[in-house]
Amino acid sequence: MRIRALGVGLAAMTLATVAFAHEERLVIGRVERLDLGARLLVVQDPERDRTVQITLDPETEVRRCRLASGLAAVRPGARVRVKYLDRGGAAFDTLSLLVLPDSQGR
């Protein structure tokens, strides 16, 4: 009985580690840099006072004003909302990117 309880406990700890390693997060901030060649987006996160490096892949959904638009809509200085996976690496994997209107409504 003690061995079974130990096995269940180890399995639960393993699942918790896997879930934590792939946590979905959200950042809202301004684009500092976009490197299409390296497929890298750098966003300033004012809420947490940090700069976030996010990798982009062909499956990344990019939207602007509810329309699919692609990376051409992303410019340095643009306000964006990025949903990403934090896998514990230096750069995060992007799930979706929404270009937000700025204070002038653009």
Domains in the chain with CATH codes: 23-100 (2.40.50.320)
pLDDT at 49: 95
pLDDT score recorded for residue 15: 45
What pLDDT, in 10s, does the model give residues 65-93? Answer: 766 677 777 889 999 999 988 877 767 88
> pTM for the full model?
0.66
Alpha-carbon gap, residue 28 to 49, rounded angstroms: 11
Our CA dihedral for 54, 56, 57, 60, rounded to 10 degrees, sits at: 100
CA dihedral 10, 93, 78, 80 (to 10 degrees): -40
